[in-house]
Every structure is written in structure tokens, then in C-alpha cells.
Amino acid sequence: MKTVPISQDAEPESISAYGPARSTVTTTPLNAEDIRKMEAYFRASVYLCLGMLYLRGNPLLKEPLVKENLKARLLGHWGSDSGQVFTWMHFNRVIKKYDLDALYVSGPGHGAPAVLSQAYLEGTYSEVYPDKSEDEEGMQRFFKQFSFPGGIGSHATPETPGSIHEGGELGYSISHAFGSVFDNPNLITLTVVGDGEAETGPLATSWHSNKFLNPITDGAVLPVLHLNGYKINNPTILARISHRELEALFFGYGYQPYFVEGSDMKTMHQAMAATVEHCVLEIRKFQKQARDSKKAFRPRWPMIVLRSPKGWSAPRDVDGKFLEGFWRAHQIPITDVASNPDHLKLLETWMRSYKPEEVFDKTGKLIPELRALTPTGNARMSANPVGNGGLLRKPLHMPDFRDYSLPDIKAGYSFLGSMVNMSKFLRDVVAKNMTNFRIFGPDETESNKLGEVYKAGKKVWLGEYFDEDSDGGNLATEGRVMEMLSEHTCEGWLEGYILSGRHGLLNSYEPFIHVIDSMVNQHCKWIEKCAEVEWRAKVASLNILLTATVWRQDHNGFTHQDPGFLDVVANKSPEVVRIYLPPDGNCLLSVTDHCLRSVNYVNVIVADKQDHLQYLNMEEAIEHCTKGAGIWDWASNDQGCEPDVVMASCGDVPTHEALAATALLREFLPQLKIRFVNVVDLFKLINHGDHPHGLSDREWISTFTNDKPIIFNFHSYPWLIHRLTYKRPGQTNLHVRGYNEKGNIDTPLELAIRNKTDRYSLAIDAIDRIPSLHNTASAARERLLNLQIKAKTQAFDNGIDPDYITMWRWPYDRVKPDGQ
Amino acid sequence: MKTVPISQDAEPESISAYGPARSTVTTTPLNAEDIRKMEAYFRASVYLCLGMLYLRGNPLLKEPLVKENLKARLLGHWGSDSGQVFTWMHFNRVIKKYDLDALYVSGPGHGAPAVLSQAYLEGTYSEVYPDKSEDEEGMQRFFKQFSFPGGIGSHATPETPGSIHEGGELGYSISHAFGSVFDNPNLITLTVVGDGEAETGPLATSWHSNKFLNPITDGAVLPVLHLNGYKINNPTILARISHRELEALFFGYGYQPYFVEGSDMKTMHQAMAATVEHCVLEIRKFQKQARDSKKAFRPRWPMIVLRSPKGWSAPRDVDGKFLEGFWRAHQIPITDVASNPDHLKLLETWMRSYKPEEVFDKTGKLIPELRALTPTGNARMSANPVGNGGLLRKPLHMPDFRDYSLPDIKAGYSFLGSMVNMSKFLRDVVAKNMTNFRIFGPDETESNKLGEVYKAGKKVWLGEYFDEDSDGGNLATEGRVMEMLSEHTCEGWLEGYILSGRHGLLNSYEPFIHVIDSMVNQHCKWIEKCAEVEWRAKVASLNILLTATVWRQDHNGFTHQDPGFLDVVANKSPEVVRIYLPPDGNCLLSVTDHCLRSVNYVNVIVADKQDHLQYLNMEEAIEHCTKGAGIWDWASNDQGCEPDVVMASCGDVPTHEALAATALLREFLPQLKIRFVNVVDLFKLINHGDHPHGLSDREWISTFTNDKPIIFNFHSYPWLIHRLTYKRPGQTNLHVRGYNEKGNIDTPLELAIRNKTDRYSLAIDAIDRIPSLHNTASAARERLLNLQIKAKTQAFDNGIDPDYITMWRWPYDRVKPDGQ
């Protein structure tokens, strides 16, 4: 019953997944009786996994297996199931022994059968879904629903009790796990990382999350790297490097890796029991040390390397071809069971080798001595409320955003920083919610003018400190801002933090947010699906604040210009996505307040961080943001009559230029009747039938008219407006200007001119779209063109726009007579 | 002059960037005279960097520095310049000594001044841009253009001689570098990795590229991790972990790290010279060992950790605040020089400390003894033709794709695998181009039915081998297929491979291609910009083959459903992007052939990997693909008259269902005149003025009519079609069906029905859109609805579609009388 101490030198022999257990920890906490029960529990678990893959009838194999018992289409994955089951059940033992608060994150792809089997054996599944009861009939339904039309998928989808991590797209298990334990000091999130997943970039860097974990105020993650050796059709890298390299790699990442390797069941149970217990005691020891001393430090956190055969406990070969311990065990292990009677027999023999009749009673219920191995109530990882974080979510204590208003705004004169002002509000949101709100960002929070938040909570940093850090470093072991130059990790942390019941905001440069397109997609899908799962409580919205926007990336050039994240988001379900482009500082405050209070959305806010003209006082801003889109009377002169043209805008810089164009038009062509419309909430543009925020066609007409030219200046690619307004009345009169893909080093004005989003181009555009002006406005048109050329020339010669401030300031004084 | 051997134990002291050099290699190859010259060359280099950041006049400081000499807007980054200059110049020494073929990849953000300074000092810049001549006037222009309107950016943009890696978005230096050395056995790509960049996910996993590098047939990458300690406003993780951890991490990644740490110039030059030389000799040794023995193995490749102060050689502090060795040195090091005379003076003193008058002659040219330090001709890293890979590109030897035709196609009857057939063509493309064509993919090539390619070239694998690999592993140390479960790394390798003059194709699951949205964006920007740079020769297109498409992700569920990559691509410049959705196998062949022959594009091909109905014989397919969009006469019955409705499709599964709908309509309503249109080349839909492939409006009308209802069944989100066809004649008659965001576990038929892209929904849709049918087609409508309900019920009960094959087969026989 002894395990073999692991050899430090032998390589590559030591990287085999076969043989008696080899392990770093060699204590033997289990007696023979314990091991007997462990083996039985393992058998019950993997029997359920196979049942999910294959059976729609005869769930306990009380009858001989016939092909009519099989699902018509076999779907699902076997590869990582046994290793995950093994890991989960061993944690159960220490949960019970040490009264742990624990959550399980399943990283390997398509490993749901493992997780589902545990939820079912622990009784949680039947509590949540009473028709999947703990009896033969329930088991049959439980099997059939898996990867079956109308049923559940092969990942730990939202329907899975205890899951906050679906894992459909690989790479985020570790960052999600860390997100769940921040500010959860008692929680240990046991996280199985697949060795396929471990090859992804996001996973590879997320190991460094340990430099951001405070052992006093945060919980701990216990990663289990599951080296089962194979992906779909390939070996994995980490399973094919030497033991020394593997150990060094994780030491280098800051962990103490504990190895458990082999295939022999009895010794593997002993080794895993010893190792898991040792790791938990290490975690507890480090936490106690830090908490007793009140000195946070970065311990060498433990992690486990579990090397076991892929598809462990399957037949080693079938018809002379490797199954267990090879990539063929990845998905359905034997595929032709319906057509090949020998293989059907093989499957039956295999399934019966788990002795279902021994581990389940006649009614189909797990026998009591095995049930006694599981924790009870919320101690079950499948029932931990953290896994249904909405239950734990408390609304934020919100300061009144009105208290942070930019006061006495004179529309088009006041010139202030919207973002830097909003950061004071954000600072106080942090201050009032010191244990359940964090700000995340890839090294750009200060650059994004949000540095004020450090006054309430510094940047978490558990790396080494230098003396020079006191010179404005804003680092602290206990902080509220999380900065690592990995958008993936920041987003993963935030998702984990939200899904475990807390609140947060990610700030990022707009051009690089595409880095996490796919992550945001997956989160949208998660929360959309959650809304259909009755027992899932609503979680806080995922808030993404984008700045360093395309219109101010003139000098950084082409690679920093891409506003297309909005297109990605707009493809997601209208149930879950919201996009806001506040035109000024008070609108930014109002929108941010709204987003932080909301639940179950992905909110995207796009706002420039530079100083800007301001337009609305707070009450006006609230009204405007509440409407989401509306006429700005103070900038319009069509009161009491039909406008000749509608000037419209969405986004702060585009609004600025559209207003300047309006001013120019009103100066040069005072007879012209202009209506100015601003859109804050992008989805106001869609028809009400397609998005809950959408304007009705009647509202649309009363705002935009149905027959007048609309010159619409937009922040992002113009196509997005066209697709949102598809089939709107008067749609053919809509002329959208926005960003087009073309790279140069420019001044902001040149950039705008090249994209025809500058004041002069817009004004000329309007003139050209108004038939009545075709013969009368040629002088005005000429003047506008000359102004544009002059501005452009000056910019080119000097490297800055002619009058840098005025460039961004609305020359509203020129049209004062009609104005406010 | 001796360097200090690095201490293995001392920590954290050993992680300071200050003091005399500490290094792993302690030989002393330089004499005092060598060091004197090295110091002078370094001064010339960083002087140029500062000049680019600050000056528009007085480039050699022949006059006192006045604020009129300064650029009006100061832009650019100083932080990594000195470290990169230092690295580059030391490689020059070994290039000359050992006659190396070398390329430089600049990973740190905004490090262009370093690279530009070297290109200028080596004479390459003036050769390529004669107005930036090697004299005072040229230097002045060289300074002024940097981050100046109409000039060049602060990354190693396409305008930079010798660059294949812009680095605007961080994380891809290592994968690009490896891409450049695959099949380039003599090349060494010196790659500086920023410690900020090193935190990104893509970079963190790309270190594992060494498991895919063959020491016989490939060249080598020499990575230099530049620990300058800071990002924009934060310390970096890798600069704040212990020496032991850092060393272990890179040992774990498979490298032998050699450290060079410190700030003292003289000893640092000695240490770096010794270390670089040692690494090159190690590389040469490993290569010789493998090449002599003809046995490929994975050596412990060398890498360098260069720890030097951020902004090295700047003043350590300004006004009592740290500058050098702190994050304040990241961007413009002293910002208020125009308004603060003391700071202007400080800048002048600092710049003069580099003694420009000593290193440049009176005319402004680098003095001969320093010029003698640089290699000449193509040995200069700034002039290596690999850095302008199009020069080296040879067209692929292409087998005739017609030889792989699916023969004797009976439209709508033949049922064959398009992808598995195309893989034979791809196999022979591999076979005919064994040194300049590779296939890349994240562990999905076999799953994507492309396994045939392994017959021509196996999967490259330099990890450990197990006996079981012989059981269908298809692994080899020398192969043509690159598989790692990191879309980022695969894409990075492919980009590097293409930009250095070769050809390739990435195959991936459609749902996870969003992982590399931002990388594809950046590559599009790169090649678009290249087209404007006269001396850049055209490179092969980047070909992305997407399969496991949304319509066959029914069972994998919601996380595997996202066809939105096309939206991201469609946002890029029409000059560089192409999207193809071949409807069947012969079209897939024709399109693939076309893409592999093309240059300077990003081609996206979307095609299902499952067996499919086939429609076109090869000559028909060629004609159809050449047109890109056209009427399928054989499926239409409107010959000689106006159609009542146009049934249109784009994408293979949507085409299948649209054809089936057509068949149903023609069976149930034989009097109806239906035109069937298929679109292969998505950009045919855009107006010709907006994309070179676009149909003219006249062509549009002759294909789609301008007044008939068009039922358009589309592969992706329907909005994309609306935005592409914006303002097309008859646009309001266009009714697009496509994927909508909603998650369930479905059969393919259920999935289609839920999205209204199934045959029944489409046929009903057509009926509802044809006014003349409103009163006459109710019976047909009812029959269609009943068929739909019946199919759905059967699917739900059995877990598979009623007749799985027929479901995907066009029941064309029902309408044979009108048909072919």
C-alpha cells in the first residue's frame, strides 16, 4: 500500500502515466477500508460518466445491454472524466475532515460528466432537478438528457450545480478560480487544469495570478494540473517534457508542485489522499502565518500535478489499438457499439466491471456507506452558494453620483475631463465597498485617468517590493485594483469575481479589447443561458470601460485604431448586452452609476479620457441618459418647424465634431433649420422588437424624422449604425460617418478629416444632402473647404492641430443669437 | 573589467537592475579598446533615440538647444530603447565574427527608436529613404518624421527596414520569431521580449515553441528577455520574482537562461559580449550535433535575461523623482521641456553627455571606426531580405486542383465529403513544397478531416516520444504540420512564416477563431500598410480555413456557436480581406487553389467538414467561383420569365437548406417561378465602389432583381448581409436568415429551425413574402408547417434528426420534371 517516492532524476521514464503511484508526498492516511470505499465511490462515479455517454435505458444494467438501450447518436467525452472524478472525491475527504469551504472549477474540455456525476452522487442534482431523482428512473433521465436534444451540454454549463466555469473555450480555469477566491478568505477553489488547456496563452500566463493573491484577505486556489497526456489527436506538451522541466516550470511560476503519477488504483488513492491533505494543510499554514502576523506575503502555494492515463480505467486497447492512455479515449471511447455486437459486449463488460449493483442499491440510490463519503449541505462542492454567486450578491453601497457632477456647465464652453472627474465617483464606490468591488485593468488605470481610485484602494501586488515603489508606486499587498498586462487574466479574474457574487469593472484601451473578444462572447453566452436556469440568481453585470479610443490614437497609429469590439458585442443576445457612448462628463457619471447597479448584463461604456467640451448639467444628463437618445434643443434651431437636416452623433469626439459642424452651418447658413440628436445608448437605434431598449418606429420618426437627411457621426465603424437601423423609416436618408480602416500618423484633426468625421466634412456633407441648398450654398461650401485645408496644412507643418484646444472646443459663440 | 558571477542564492538582492554587471557567462572577449568603441556606438544610438523623441531642428546640437528645436507635440517612448540598442549592437559583433544570417524582432512596446537608430547607423535607412541621408539634413528629417503627422509610428511599423514584427499589440514576438526560422536553417532571429509583453497570455505560452523546432532543418531563435522592470505604470511580474524562480521558469520552458544584469556600462558591455557569443556558439554546437548525426533532438536552447534599468542612461532622478529605473522613463522621459527652462537645460546636458560631436562627423555621418562595427550588406539585421520576405517568396508549386475534382456530380444527389476530398489536394500542395509551405492548427487538423495531409508531412514534435506514438500518432521531428493548442501561437507562427517569404494555411474550429481576432486585425493592418511602402515586396496571403462551423455545433452547444469572425474581418480594409463560403466540394477546391496562389490578403474560407450534398462539377464550380455569385439555372425555373421569388444562399449548410426549400416550393406550388442564387465570395455583395470584388448595381439587379422578394439564407449573423447590401437596389426586399444568439442542445435540424434557416421556414418565408400567394398557398403553407413539426418531434424523441442523411440531402427528385 506504499507509494513510491518520485524520482528527481529519472527521465523520461518518470513521465509515464502507468504503474504504481509515484508521489512527492508519501504519507499513507488511508487504511485498507478507506481505500476499498474510495475505489467503490470511484466506480460509482465513472459508471455514471459512461452512462451519460451511452445509455438512454437500462441505467443500472439490470438487464443485458442491448443496442436499444443506447442513445441513437453518441456524444460526449470520456478522456478527463476519471481523473476529475478522482480529484473531486479526494477533496471531499478533506472537506469533511477540515470543514472546508470549497468550490470546484473544471478546466479540461468537455469534462462535464465528471462534474455531473459528483453533483448527482452528492444529491445536489436531484435537489435542483427533482425529476433526476436518486433512483433508477431518475438516473435514466439523468443519463438521457446528457448531450441530447433539449438536454444539457458536455461542458459544465450553467445548468450544472456548483459551476461558475463552463470551459467551452479553454484557457480560463485558473483566472476564474482566482477571481472566485479574491475577498473570499475561507474559500479554497480546487481547480483542475487540463494539459490541453494549459497550452493556451491565457492559461499559461494565468499561473502568475499568485502574485496578486493576499493570504489574509483572499482565499486560496489549489490547482491540479491534470496530465492525462493527450488532446483530441495529439500528445500534450507538458506531458512530454522531463520531470525536471515540469517541476522547474511550476516552481518558476511560484508554486510548490506535488506530483501524483500512475495508474494503479489502490496506490493512487493513497497518494492522492496524502497529497491533497498535505496541500490543504500547507494552505492553512500559510494563511495562519499571514493572518496571525497580519503580514501578507507570497507563500510558495502548493499545486498538484496529477498524471494519470487519459480515459483512465477504460480498456487499454480495443482491437489492438490503444484506447486508455491514448488520444482515442478523448471522446466516445468505443463508437460503433450499435453496429458491432462484439463492441457492445465489450462496453457491457467494461461497464459491469464498475459493479453498479454493488455501489447503487436496488432502487438506484448510492449505498449509504458511499454517500457517507460526501460532505453535506453547502459543504458539497456541487452545492456551494459561491457556485451560484447571485445568491451571495449584495447590491453595492453607491455614493450619489450627482455629488460628483461637473457643475455649472455652459454647453459647448466648459472644458473639463470627463474621465478624471468620474474617477472620483469610482474612488468612492471602491471606498464604500471594500470587500466586494474591484477594478481590473492591464496596466492602464493611471493612463486612463482613473488614478484617483488608488486613494481608496491601491494596486494589489505580492511580488517583491523595491524602495523606489514608495515614489508613487501605489502598490500594496491589500488593494482594490488589479493590474496585470494580460487582458485575458484581468477579464478572467473579473468574471470569476462576479460569478461568485461580487461586482467589478474592467478598464482597458479600446484598441486592445479585441484581445478578449472570445472571452466576452463566452461570458455573454453564460449569463444568457443562466437567465433560463431557474435556480440561478442574478449576478452583477460585467462592466467594461473603454478609453484611449480610436479618435485619440492618431499618434500611436494604425495598430491602436480599432473600434470594432462594439460589433462583436452587438452580435450577442439583446437580453444581455448594453453599449453606452456618453457624450460628456455628466452623462458618463449617469451611465456608470446605472451600469454598476445593473445585473446580468455585459455593459460596455466608451469614453475618451482627454479633456473635453461639456454640454449637459447633471439633471439634463440624467434625463438624456434615461431617454438614451434624444434631441438637444439647445443646439437645434428647428423649434416649431420641420428641420432641413438632422445632425446626429454617438460618441464623445464625434459629438464634438457634429456640434461644431452644426455651429458652422448655422453661422454660414443661418436660414437653415437644423435638429441635433445625440445617442448615448446605442441599442436605442434598433427596433423595439429586437432589443428591449429600442425605440419604436414612432419614437424614431419623432426624433430622426422619416424624410430628412440625417448626417450621423459615429464613434465606430459606420456599418454598425446601418445594421442597427436596418428597415427604419427614412433609412435611406441616413448618412453615417465613422472610422474607416486606413493607417497614418496624424493629428486628431487630420485623422477626423481622413475619415470625414470632422466638422468641415460633416457640414459639407449636410449641404450636399439638402436639395434646396444645391444652388445657394456654394459660397458656404467653399468657405468650409478652405477652412479644412487651412487646418490641415497647419497641422501638417507643426505636428499639432492649429489651435489644439479650440480644435476640440465647440465654437458655439459664433451662433449665439439662435443658441441658448 | 571582470564581471561578477551571478549568485544563485542571494535574493531578492540579485534582482536589482543596478550595479556592476552580474552574469552567468564570465569570459571577457572585449579589450579596453573594444569597450571604448562599444560605449561610443551605444552613445550614438541612444542619442538618435532621444533625437527622434524631441528634435525637429538642431539635430547634432551644434547650437545650444532652444525650444524652437523641439517638436510641438512630444510623442514616443524611451523606456526600452537603450536595452534594445545594447542588444542589437552586441549581436552585430557576433554577426561579423561568425558570418551569421540574423534578423531582429523587437518585442517591447513602442521600441521603434531603438530599431530605427540601428537601421540609420547601418546605412540601411538612407538607402531605403534617400531623403533621410547620413548627414545633418537627413538626420533632421529622420528625427522630425518620427511620431509626426505624415511620418512614422512608434512601433517597428512596415516602414521600418528589417522589421517583420510591428508589436503594436503585445505578445507575439516569440511566435513571429519562430515562424521566421522554420525552414530557414541558417537564420538566427534575435528576439527581444519586453517584460510587459511577457505577461500576456500569447507570449507566455509561445516559449513552448521550442518543442516544435527542428535543429537540422530550422534555424534558431535567441530570445532576450529584457527585464527593464516596468510597464506603463507598474512593475513587471518577472522583474519581481526571485532569481531562483526566474531561472527555474525558463529552465522549465526548456531553455538555458543566461543572465546579464546591471547598469555599469563597461562591465555590462563585457558581460553582454561574452553572453551573446556563448549563446551563438551553443546554438551552432547544437545545430552541428544534430546535422552531423542527422538526428534531430530538442537541445536546451539558450536564452538571455537582460536586466537593465528602464530608460537606462537617463538621469536617475528629475526634481527628486525617479526617472531612470522607474516607470516614469516609459514614454517621453521629461515632458515639460518647452515650458520649463531648467528641464530644457537638463535635456540638453543629458543629450550632450552622449557626445554627438564625437560619434558623428561634422556632416552628421557616423565616424568610420564606429561604422566598422556594423555588418555590411544583407548581413545587417536592418537589411536582411528575410525582413522583407516578399523578396524571397517563391510561388508555390501547385498541383492542378482539377485533378482532385469530385467527379460526375449529380446536383443534389451526390453525397460526399468536401473537406476530406480537398485534403488530398492540400496533401499534394504540401508534398510539392516541402520547404516553404506549412499547415498550422490547434490540435484540430485530423478532426477537421484534413488528416490526409500527414501522408505528405507529419506533425512536427520535438517533445518526448512514447512507444504508443507509433499507433497513429503521426508525429515526427521533421514534419509539415504544426499543432499546438494555442490559436495564438499557431497564428503567430504562420504570420512569421509568411512575412519571411513562405506560404501557409491555418485550420481552426470556427467558434474559437475569435481567440485571435486581434491578431488577425493586426496582420490586416500590417499588410495594408505594406502595400503603401514601395520597397516592401508582396507576401503570400494568410489563409484561414474555418470548419466545425456553427451549423454543426448543435450538440456541443452554445459555447461552440459563434460565426462572428466574419464581422471582424469585414471591418478591415477591402484592400486586404477576402471571405469565401464555398457551397460544395468542387467550389472548395477552386477557392482553396485561388487563395493559396494569392498574395497580400487575409483569405477566410468557411466550409463544413461533414459529408454533404454536392452540386457542381468542376468546370461549373470554376465558373461559379470565378463569378463569385450567380444564378444556379439548374435549380431555378424562372428561365425566360421574371421570378416570383429569389432564393439565395451563402455557406454550405445554408445552401443545402435553401435548395431544399426551393425543392419543396416547386413541389407544392409548381406554378411558382423561383430563381436560385448562390454567393461564394461574400464581398460580391458590396458595391463595386467599396470593394474591388463588389458587383455593380447593374450586375446586382440582373442577379437579384430590384423588386422581387429575396429569401437569403446565410451562414453567419444576418446583419452582416444587411450591412454589405446597404443601399443596394431593392434592398428592402431582402430577407436574411442566419444565426441568432440562443443556446440549446439540438439536432442540426432543430438548430436550423430555431434560427429559421431550415427548409420549411425558408419555404414558408417565401410564401409569406409573395403577395400573389397570400390567398392561394395556405394548403402548401400548412403542409410545410406539419412537416416541420413532424421532423422536430422525431428529432426530440430520438435525439437525431428523422432521417439523418435525408435531412441533409436535397429532395430534388420530387421536382424532377422541372429540374435538370
Q: What is the DSSP string of B649-661?
A: EESHHHHHHHHHH
Residues of chain B with confidence (pLDDT) below 70: 1-14, 803-820
Distance from CA of B803 to the nearest CA of A (A): 12
Of A356, A388, A420, the one marking the end of a domain is A388
Distance from CA of A133 to the nearest CA of B (A): 21
In this complex, the residue of A558, A571, A742 whose CB is nearest that of residue B717 is A571
Q: For residues A426 and A533, state if they share a domain.
A: yes
Distance from C-alpha of A238 to C-alpha of A244, rounded to nearest angstrom? 11
* Residue B107 confidence (pLDDT): 97
In this complex, the residue of B196, B233, B723 whose CB is nearest that of residue A722 is B723
Q: For residues A246 and A344, state if they share a domain.
A: yes
Domain membership of residue A802 (yes or no) is yes
From the CB of residue A790, how many other CB atoms can be counted at a distance below 10 Å?
Answer: 12
Distance from C-alpha of A140 to C-alpha of A142, rounded to nearest angstrom? 5
Q: What chain A residue is nearest to B557 in terms of C-alpha separation?
A: A153
Q: For residues B92 and B213, state if they share a domain.
A: yes
In this complex, the residue of B205, B234, B556 whose CB is nearest that of residue A201 is B205
Counted across chains A and B, CB pairs separated by less than 8 A come out at 388
* Residue B805 confidence (pLDDT): 52
Q: What chain A residue is nearest to B751 in terms of C-alpha separation?
A: A149
* Residue B818 confidence (pLDDT): 36
Domain membership of residue B195 (yes or no) is yes
Domain membership of residue A618 (yes or no) is no
In this complex, do B326 and A468 lie within 8 Å of one another by their Cβ atoms? yes
Distance from C-alpha of A229 to C-alpha of A596, rounded to nearest angstrom? 43
Q: For residues B442 and B327, state if they share a domain.
A: no
All residues at 6 or more sequence positions from B760 whose CB lies less than 8 Å from its CB, including other chains: B661, B664, B753, B784, B785, B787, B788, B791
* Residue B10 confidence (pLDDT): 43
Q: For residues B218 and B286, state if they share a domain.
A: yes
Distance from CA of A463 to the nearest CA of B (A): 5
In this complex, the residue of A15, A237, A568 whose CB is nearest that of residue B208 is A237
In this complex, do A568 and B572 lie within 8 Å of one another by their Cβ atoms? no
Domain membership of residue B461 (yes or no) is yes
* Residue given cell 442574478 in the structure block: A538
Distance from C-alpha of A608 to C-alpha of A546, rounded to nearest angstrom? 8
Domain membership of residue B10 (yes or no) is no
Counted residue by residue, chain A has a size of 820
Cell numbers standing for residue B363: 556632416
In this complex, do B726 and A744 lie within 8 Å of one another by their Cβ atoms? no
Q: Is residue B634 exposed (0-12), middle (13-18) or buried (19+ Cβ within 10 Å)?
A: middle
Sign of CA dihedral A35, A39, A45, A46: positive
Show residues of chain A in contact with B157, CB under 8 Å.
557-559
Mutation site, A15, A75, A466, interface B, largest B CB count within 10 A: A466
Distance from C-alpha of B82 to C-alpha of B79, rounded to nearest angstrom? 8
Q: What is the CATH number of the domain that holds B312?
A: 3.40.50.970
Domain membership of residue B11 (yes or no) is no
Q: For residues A380 and A417, state if they share a domain.
A: no
From the CB of residue A537, how many other CB atoms can be counted at a distance below 10 Å?
Answer: 16
Show residues of chain B in contact with A485, CB under 8 Å.
170, 196-197, 199-200, 231, 234, 236
In this complex, the residue of B73, B322, B723 whose CB is nearest that of residue A471 is B322
- Residue A389 to residues A172, A179, A415, A498, B763: CA-CA distances in angstroms? 18, 12, 42, 7, 45
Distance from C-alpha of B454 to C-alpha of A671, rounded to nearest angstrom? 74
All residues at 6 or more sequence positions from B553 whose CB lies less than 8 Å from its CB, including other chains: B510, B511, B560, B561
Q: For residues B387 and B270, state if they share a domain.
A: yes
* Residue given cell 471591418 in the structure block: B571
Domain membership of residue B396 (yes or no) is no
All residues at 6 or more sequence positions from A106 whose CB lies less than 8 Å from its CB, including other chains: A84, A112, A114, A115, A156, A163, A165, A167, A173, A192
The DSSP letter of residue A387 is G
Number of domains in chain B: 3
Give me the domain span that covers residue A265. Answer: 4-388
In this complex, do A471 and B205 lie within 8 Å of one another by their Cβ atoms? no
The DSSP letter of residue B449 is T
In this complex, do B799 and A56 lie within 8 Å of one another by their Cβ atoms? yes
Cell numbers standing for residue B550: 456553427
Q: What chain A residue is nearest to B475 in terms of C-alpha separation?
A: A234
Q: For residues B670 and B779, state if they share a domain.
A: yes
In this complex, the residue of A253, A719, A795 whose CB is nearest that of residue B149 is A795
Distance from CA of A638 to the nearest CA of B (A): 28
In this complex, do B72 and A800 lie within 8 Å of one another by their Cβ atoms? yes
Of B368, B391, B414, the one marking the end of a domain is B391
Q: For residues A285 and A176, state if they share a domain.
A: yes
Q: Look up the ipTM and state it.
A: 0.96
All residues at 6 or more sequence positions from B698 whose CB lies less than 8 Å from its CB, including other chains: none
Of B391, B417, B441, the one marking the end of a domain is B391
* Residue A718 amino acid letter: P
Mutation site, B200, B527, B569, interface A, largest A CB count within 10 A: B200
Distance from CA of B287 to the nearest CA of A (A): 20
Domain membership of residue B683 (yes or no) is yes
Q: What is the CATH number of the domain that holds A743?
A: 3.40.50.920
In this complex, do A799 and B446 lie within 8 Å of one another by their Cβ atoms? no
pTM of the model: 0.97
Q: For residues A380 and A418, state if they share a domain.
A: no
pLDDT digits (tens, 9 = 90+) for B379-426: 999 999 999 999 999 999 999 999 999 999 988 888 899 999 999 999
In this complex, the residue of A152, A558, A568 whose CB is nearest that of residue B529 is A558
In this complex, the residue of A204, A741, A747 whose CB is nearest that of residue B204 is A204
* Residue B4 confidence (pLDDT): 52
In this complex, the residue of B149, B568, B743 whose CB is nearest that of residue A750 is B149
pLDDT digits (tens, 9 = 90+) for A201-255: 999 999 999 999 999 999 999 999 999 999 999 999 999 999 999 999 999 999 9
Mutation site, B67, B234, B253, interface A, largest A CB count within 10 A: B234
Mutation site, A77, A509, A559, interface B, largest B CB count within 10 A: A559
Q: For residues A734 and A789, state if they share a domain.
A: yes
Distance from CA of B561 to the nearest CA of A (A): 10
Q: For residues A381 and A424, state if they share a domain.
A: no
CB A525 within 8 A of CB B550: no
Distance from C-alpha of B737 to C-alpha of B732, rounded to nearest angstrom? 14
SS (H, E, C) B806-820: HHCCCCHHHHHHHCC
- Residue A20 to residues A350, A455, B190: CA-CA distances in angstroms? 22, 56, 45
Show residues of chain B in contact with A15, CB under 8 Å.
464
All residues at 6 or more sequence positions from A234 whose CB lies less than 8 Å from its CB, including other chains: A327, B443, B459, B475, B483, B485
All residues at 6 or more sequence positions from B572 whose CB lies less than 8 Å from its CB, including other chains: A741, B521, B524, B525, B528, B602
For chain A of 820 residues, list the mean pLDDT of each consecutive stretch of 10. 48 76 96 98 98 97 97 92 98 98 96 97 98 98 93 95 95 98 98 98 98 98 97 95 96 97 97 98 98 97 97 95 92 95 97 98 98 98 98 98 96 91 98 98 94 97 93 94 98 98 97 97 96 96 95 82 95 95 98 98 96 94 97 92 96 94 92 96 94 94 96 96 90 93 83 92 96 89 93 80 59 41
Show residues of chain B in contact with A469, CB under 8 Å.
235
